[in-house]
C-alpha cells in the first residue's frame, strides 16, 4: 500500500468515526430510554407545527428549552400533507422538516407521532377526506385498502425523515416515534380484526427501520418491541405500567388543560396539580413525560374538528400566542430542575417504598448514602407531619416533596415560587366607522339554479367532499292557495339555516354532545310555486370513534304542516349547491374581492350570510396581534387571504360567556399597512362596527411566597454558588425562598401596586394587608424592583428591617405593573 493510499484509507476511517459519533444509539430497558448508553429522564412538550407559523417556531422552541424540556413532540398531519391523493404539500406551516431542524438547532430531541390517525381535535382525525372514497375501505382495522394507504403514507414520512437524516440513528434529533393513536379506545368495536390490525401496525412500523423505538399510546397490549404508553391527567395513578418488564414507563399525553368546544367554559388545570401528577409518575419509575400540549396554538382555517374552538389549549404553559402562562410554565420549570438534580439516584435501579402514614408514602431511590433521592407523597387533602430518616417533614395537602439528597427539600409541588402573570388585550385600532366597511350579501339559490340533483336528501360530507362547510339543499312545490304553515326539519349535524321563498325564517344548531335537532318555524306560503332552501353548516369534521368513514351529517326529514295535513319532502327532487358564492370567488383575497360587487355598509340586516370587508394597519411593536370579534355572531375571518379560523361568538356557555372572542393574527400574516380583513357573518345580528385590532401582552406580575417554601431550584443551581469570594453570602441568599418577578418583551416594572411582608390576606388576585405587616414593605420592593425588567427579593425579616411578629409564618406578596 502506497503512502497516498494509506492516507486515503485513514481519512475515510476518520470520517466514518466522526459520522458514527454524530449518530446516537437509542434503545430502552425497564427503567428508561437509553441514549448512547446513558439512561435518561426526559421531559417533553407537544408543539404542533401546523398550529403556529415558521416565524414563531424558534421562540416557542427556545421557551420550551428554557422551561426545562428535553424533547419536542408533534403529530404528523396527513390531511394537510396529502390533501388530494398523490399531491403533497410541505410548504409554509406544513414544513415539518424545517420544524424538526429548528428543534435540532436548539439542541432538543424530537418525538414524532406519525399516526397516521392522530385525533388531536383536528379535522377528520388527520385522515385526508379522499380516503373516505376508497372502495371497500374501513378505517383503522384489518382492512386491506386502509392498511395499503396507511403503510404507503408511513413509508413516505419515514423516507422523508431519513432523506434529511433526522433520526437519531443518523445523527438527527428524532429519538422516538408513535404509530396509531389511542386505539385502545375503539378496539372493542373491531374485535379480532382490531387485534390483528394492532399487530400488523406494530410490525409495519418496526419494519420501517428508523433506528429508534416505537410507542403506542393507550394500547395496553402493544406488541413487542413497541412500548405501551399512557395518556391522561393522572397517569401517576391510573397507568398500570408497561406490559413487559423490559419496557420503560412513558406518558405520551399529560393534558395541561383540555380542548374547548363552543358552548363550553375552558377547563383550568392548576400548575400544582400537573406538578403533583408528574412527580408521582416519576416516583413510580416513570421516565418520560410529555405535556399535551406545551403550546396549543391556533386552529387556522377549517382545521378544527367538530365544535372545537379556534384557540387550542390556550391554558398550556405557552399560551396560544406563545406567551408564558404563569405560574404554570415557571412551576414546571422548577419541577424539571428538581428532578434532574435527582437523576442519578432515580436511574440507579434501586427503589424502596416506605409507608409514612395512611395516605403518606416515601419513594426512595439510590444504592449509596451519598447517592440518594426521595419523593415524599401526601395523598391526603390535609397537611401531614411525617418522620423520615430521623427528620420531621410537614407535607402540604395533596403534595409531593422532592428531596434531592434524601434530606433537604428541593421542591414541593403545592408551593409555587413562580410568579403569576396577567394577560391584557389592548385595542390598537377600532373599525367603528361605517365608511370603513363594505359588504356583499350571499343570494339564496333556487332549485333551478342548482347543478346537483337528487330524488332524496343527500348526506352533507359525501356531497361537499370537505371543500366547504356549507351545503345548500333546495326544493320547490306547488301550493294551491296561500297559507300559514309550519316547516319542520329534523337535522343531524351542526347548524341549519332555513329560507322559504328567499326569505330567512330562522336557524338552529346542535352541540358537541348532541347533534340531532329540530328546526321548526312558522312560514307564509305563496299561492303557486314555493321554494325551500336549507343551508346545512358543519363546524368541523368528526375526529374520533370507530367507523369514522360511516359518519352521517344532514337533514333526515323535511315536512310542512298547514293545519290540516303534512307534506313530506324526503322523496322530492332536491337541488344542491356546494359552498357559498364568496368562497367560489375567493372574495377574501385581493383578486377575488374584485370579482363581486361590494356595497356600502348598511346598519340594518334582513338577511344573514353577509361578507364584510375592511382594511387596517399593523400595530407597532412586537406584541402578538388579535382580532376582537366580540360584536359578531358566527362565521370565519381572513386576513390578507389567510384564514385565521372559524368564530362562533353567539354560542354562549352556561355562564353566558362566548367561548372565544379574540382570534390570533400571526404577525407573519400582516403587511405594514392596508391589511385586507374579510369576515363572513352567517347571522343577522353580527355588527362589524364593534370589531377591533388588539395587541396582547403581559401587563402585570405577582409573586406570593412564604418562608416555608423551598428556595427556587434554579437559584440553587447557579454557577456562582460555589465561588469562594461570595460563597457564604451567596449560599445564604440562594437558600432562602424569594419572590422573583420578571416583565417580558423588554418591559420594566413601572409600578408596585401592592407589597406586604408579614401575613397578607388572600392571593395574587385578591389581597389585603394582614395582622402582621412590615411598614417598609413597599419601599423595599420599590427599591429592588422599580424600573427593572426583573428583580428577586428574599422572604426574610432582615430584608424588611426586622421581625415584629416572630411567631407567625411570614409571606411576601407583591403585585406589580409592567410597561
104-147 pLDDT per residue, tens:
999 999 999 999 999 999 999 999 999 999 999 999 999 999 99
Residue from 102, 121, 180, 253 carrying the catalytic annotation: 253
Residue 727 pLDDT > 50, yes or no? no
Tell me: the pLDDT tens digits for 157-175?
999 999 999 999 999 999 9
Q: What is the DSSP letter of 30?
A: S
Average pLDDT over residues 65-84: 98
Residue 487 pLDDT > 90, yes or no? yes
Task: Label the pairing between strands 286-295 and 42-47.
Answer: parallel
Q: What is the DSSP letter of 540?
A: S
Contact (CB, 8 A) for 691 and 796: no
Q: What is the DSSP letter of 414?
A: T
Helix (H), strand (E) counts: the chain:
16, 44
Residue carrying the nine cell digits 370567488: 585
Average pLDDT over residues 67-81: 98
Residue 772 pLDDT > 60, yes or no? yes
Taking each helix axis from N to C end, the angle separating 96-105 and 57-66, rounded to the nearest 10 degrees, works out to 40
Model confidence at 715, in pLDDT bands (50, 70, 90)?
low
Supply the pLDDT for residue 17.
Answer: 33
Residue 768 pLDDT > 60, yes or no? yes
- Strand-pairing partners, residue 352, are 364
Handedness of CA 241, 247, 249, 251 (dihedral sign): negative
Average pLDDT over residues 587-597: 97
Supply the pLDDT for residue 176.
Answer: 98
Separation of alpha carbons 546 and 212, rounded Å: 30
Verify whether residue 182 is a known catalytic residue.
Answer: yes
Residue 5 pLDDT > 90, yes or no? no
Residue 354 pLDDT > 70, yes or no? yes
Lowest mean pLDDT among 144-158, 350-364, 680-694, 704-718: 704-718
Average pLDDT over residues 496-506: 97
Supply the pLDDT for residue 159.
Answer: 98
**Minimal CA–CA distance to 633: which of 605, 594, 673?**
605
Tell me: the pLDDT tens digits for 183-204?
999 999 999 999 999 999 999 9
**Minimal CA–CA distance to 535: which of 596, 477, 450?**
450
Q: End-to-end distance of the chain based on CA atoms, in angstroms?
A: 73
Q: How many CA atoms are closer than 13 Å to the CA of 644, on its beta-carbon side?
A: 28
Model confidence at 239, in pLDDT bands (50, 70, 90)?
very high
Separation of alpha carbons 734 and 212, rounded Å: 41
How many CB atoms lie under 10 A from the CB of residue 408? 14
pLDDT above 70: percentage of residues in the chain: 95
Residue 10 pLDDT > 50, yes or no? no
Contacts of 99 (CB under 8 A, 6+ apart): 49, 54, 57, 74
Supply the pLDDT for residue 571.
Answer: 87
Model confidence at 679, in pLDDT bands (50, 70, 90)?
very high
Taking the CA atoms of residue 778, residue 782, residue 784 and residue 786 in that order, the dihedral angle to the nearest 10 degrees is 150
Lowest mean pLDDT among 126-135, 367-376, 701-710: 367-376
Supply the pLDDT for residue 420.
Answer: 98
Tell me: the pLDDT tens digits for 514-532?
999 999 999 999 999 999 9
Separation of alpha carbons 239 and 231, rounded Å: 9
CA distances from 366 to 42, 251, 363, 371, 407 (A): 19, 23, 10, 6, 13
- Strand-pairing partners, residue 490, are 518, 557
CA–chain centroid gap for 177, Å, is 20
Contacts of 93 (CB under 8 A, 6+ apart): 49, 50, 52, 53, 54, 300
Helix (H) or strand (E) holding 471: strand 470-479
State residue 271 phi and psi, 5-degree precision: -60, -35
**Minimal CA–CA distance to 534: which of 480, 457, 591?**
457
Q: What average pLDDT does the chain have?
A: 94
Tell me: the pLDDT tens digits for 609-636?
999 999 999 999 999 999 999 999 999 9
Supply the pLDDT for residue 12.
Answer: 35
Supply the pLDDT for residue 15.
Answer: 35
Supply the pLDDT for residue 565.
Answer: 83
Verify whether residue 455 is a known catalytic residue.
Answer: no
Separation of alpha carbons 693 and 672, rounded Å: 14
Supply the pLDDT for residue 21.
Answer: 40
Q: What is the 3-state secondary structure (H, E, C) of 163-182?
A: HCCCEHHHCCCEEEEEECCC
Residue 6 pLDDT > 80, yes or no? no
Per-residue burial over 634-669, b = 16 or more CB atoms within 10 Å of its CB, e = otherwise: bbbbbbbebbbbbbbbbbeeeeeebbbbbbbbbeeb
Residue 401 pLDDT > 70, yes or no? yes
Residue 728 pLDDT > 60, yes or no? no
Residue from 82, 102, 182, 272 carrying the catalytic annotation: 182
Q: What is the DSSP letter of 37?
A: T
Separation of alpha carbons 709 and 685, rounded Å: 52
Q: Kindly give the residue spans of alpha helices, DSSP state H, lying in 293-408.
A: 328-341, 343-346
Separation of alpha carbons 659 and 507, rounded Å: 19
Model confidence at 716, in pLDDT bands (50, 70, 90)?
low
Q: Helix %, strand %, coil % for the chain, to 5?
A: 25, 35, 40
Amino acid at each position: 500500500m502506497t503512502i497516498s493510499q494509506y492516507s486515503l484509507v485513514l481519512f475515510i476511517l476518520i470520517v466514518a468515526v466522526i459520522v458514527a459519533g454524530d449518530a446516537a444509539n437509542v434503545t430502552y430497558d425497564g427503567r428508561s430510554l437509553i441514549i448512547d448508553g446513558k439512561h435518561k429522564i426526559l421531559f417533553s412538550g407537544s408543539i404542533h407545527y401546523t398550529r403556529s407559523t415558521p416565524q414563531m417556531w424558534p421562540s416557542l422552541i427556545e421557551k420550551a428549552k428554557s422551561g426545562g424540556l428535553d424533547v419536542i413532540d408533534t403529530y404528523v398531519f396527513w390531511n394537510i400533507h396529502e390533501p388530494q391523493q398523490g399531491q403533497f404539500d410541505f410548504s409554509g406551516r406544513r414544513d415539518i422538516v424545517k420544524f424538526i431542524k429548528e428543534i435540532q438547532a436548539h439542541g432538543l430531541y424530537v418525538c414524532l407521532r406519525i399516526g397516521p390517525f392522530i385525533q388531536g381535535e383536528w379535522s377528520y382525525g388527520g385522515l385526508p377526506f379522499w380516503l373516505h372514497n376508497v372502495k371497500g375501505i374501513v378505517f383503522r382495522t384489518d382492512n386491506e385498502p386502509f392498511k395499503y394507504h396507511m403503510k404507503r403514507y408511513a413509508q413516505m414520512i419515514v423516507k422523508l425523515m431519513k432523506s434529511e437524516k433526522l433520526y437519531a440513528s443518523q445523527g438527527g434529533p428524532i429519538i422516538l416515534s408513535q404509530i396509531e393513536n389511542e386505539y385502545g379506545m375503539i378496539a372493542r368495536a373491531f374485535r379480532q380484526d382490531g387485534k390483528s390490525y394492532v399487530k400488523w401496525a406494530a410490525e409495519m412500523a418496526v419494519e420501517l427501520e428508523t433506528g429508534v423505538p416505537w410507542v403506542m399510546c393507550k394500547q395496553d397490549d402493544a406488541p413487542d418491541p413497541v412500548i405501551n404508553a399512557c395518556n391522561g391527567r393522572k397517569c401517576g395513578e391510573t397507568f398500570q405500567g408497561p406490559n413487559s418488564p423490559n419496557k420503560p414507563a412513558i406518558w405520551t399525553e399529560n393534558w395541561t388543560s383540555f380542548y374547548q368546544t363552543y358552548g363550553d367554559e375552558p377547563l383550568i388545570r392548576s400548575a400544582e396539580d400537573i406538578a403533583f401528577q408528574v412527580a408521582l409518575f416519576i416516583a413510580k419509575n416513570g421516565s418520560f413525560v410529555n405535556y399535551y400540549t406545551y403550546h396549543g396554538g391556533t386552529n387556522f382555517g377549517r382545521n378544527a374538528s367538530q365544535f372545537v374552538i379556534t384557540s387550542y389549549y390556550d391554558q398550556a404553559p405557552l399560551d396560544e400566542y406563545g406567551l408564558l402562562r404563569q405560574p404554570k410554565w415557571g412551576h414546571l420549570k422548577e419541577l424539571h430542575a428538581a428532578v434532574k438534580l435527582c437523576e442519578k439516584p432515580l436511574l440507579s435501579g434501586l427503589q424502596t417504598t416506605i409507608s409514612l402514614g395512611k395516605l403518606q408514602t416515601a419513594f426512595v431511590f439510590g444504592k449509596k448514602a451519598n447517592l440518594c433521592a426521595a419523593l415524599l407523597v401526601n395523598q391526603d387533602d390535609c397537611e401531614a407531619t411525617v418522620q423520615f430518616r430521623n427528620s420531621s417533614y410537614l407535607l402540604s395537602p395533596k403534595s409531593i416533596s422532592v428531596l434531592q439528597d434524601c434530606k433537604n427539600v428541593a421542591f414541593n409541588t403545592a408551593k409555587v415560587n413562580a410568579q403569576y402573570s396577567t394577560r391584557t388585550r389592548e385595542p390598537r385600532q377600532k373599525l367603528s366607522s361605517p365608511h370603513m366597511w363594505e359588504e356583499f350579501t350571499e343570494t339564496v339559490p333556487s332549485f333551478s339554479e342548482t347543478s346537483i340533483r337528487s330524488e332524496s336528501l343527500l348526506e352533507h360530507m359525501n356531497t361537499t367532499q370537505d371543500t366547504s362547510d356549507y351545503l345548500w339543499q333546495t326544493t320547490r312545490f306547488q301550493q294551491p292557495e296561500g297559507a300559514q304553515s309550519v316547516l319542520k326539519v329534523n337535522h343531524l349535524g351542526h347548524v341549519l339555516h332555513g329560507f322559504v321563498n328567499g326569505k330567512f325564517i330562522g336557524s338552529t344548531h346542535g352541540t358537541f354532545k348532541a347533534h340531532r335537532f329540530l328546526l321548526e318555524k312558522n312560514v307564509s306560503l305563496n299561492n303557486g310555486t314555493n321554494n325551500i332552501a336549507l343551508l346545512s353548516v358543519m363546524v368541523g369534521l368528526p375526529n374520533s370513534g370507530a367507523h369514522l368513514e360511516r359518519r352521517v351529517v344532514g337533514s333526515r326529514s323535511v315536512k310542512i304542516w298547514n293545519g290540516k295535513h303534512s307534506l313530506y319532502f324526503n322523496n322530492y327532487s332536491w337541488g344542491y349547491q356546494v359552498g357559498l358564492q364568496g368562497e367560489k370567488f375567493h372574495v377574501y383575497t385581493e383578486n377575488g374581492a374584485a370579482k363581486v360587487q361590494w356595497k356600502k355598509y348598511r346598519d340594518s340586516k334582513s338577511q344573514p350570510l353577509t361578507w364584510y370587508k375592511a382594511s387596517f394597519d399593523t400595530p407597532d411593536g412586537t406584541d402578538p396581534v388579535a382580532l376582537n370579534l366580540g360584536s359578531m355572531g358566527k362565521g370565519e375571518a381572513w386576513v390578507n387571504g389567510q384564514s385565521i379560523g372559524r368564530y362562533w361568538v353567539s354560542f354562549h356557555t352556561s355562564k353566558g360567556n362566548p367561548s372565544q372572542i379574540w382570534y390570533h393574527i400571526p404577525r407573519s400574516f400582516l403587511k405594514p399597512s392596508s391589511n385586507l380583513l374579510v369576515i363572513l357573518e352567517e347571522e343577522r345580528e353580527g355588527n362589524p362596527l364593534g370589531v377591533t385590532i388588539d395587541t396582547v401582552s403581559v401587563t402585570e406580575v405577582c409573586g406570593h411566597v412564604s418562608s416555608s417554601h423551598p428556595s427556587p431550584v434554579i437559584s440553587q443551581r447557579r454557577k456562582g454558588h460555589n465561588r469562594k469570594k461570595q460563597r457564604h453570602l451567596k449560599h445564604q441568599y440562594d437558600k432562602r425562598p424569594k419572590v422573583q418577578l420578571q416583565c417580558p418583551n423588554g418591559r420594566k416594572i413601572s409600578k408596585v401596586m401592592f407589597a406586604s411582608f408579614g401575613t397578607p390576606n388572600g392571593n395574587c388576585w385578591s389581597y389585603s394587608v394582614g395582622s402582621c405587616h412590615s411598614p417598609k414593605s413597599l419601599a423595599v420592593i420599590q427599591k429592588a424592583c422599580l424600573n427593572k425588567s426583573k428583580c428577586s427579593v428574599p422572604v426574610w425579616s432582615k430584608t424588611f428591617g426586622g421581625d415584629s411578629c416572630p411567631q407567625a409564618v411570614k409571606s411576601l406578596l407583591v403585585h406589580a405593573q409592567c410597561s
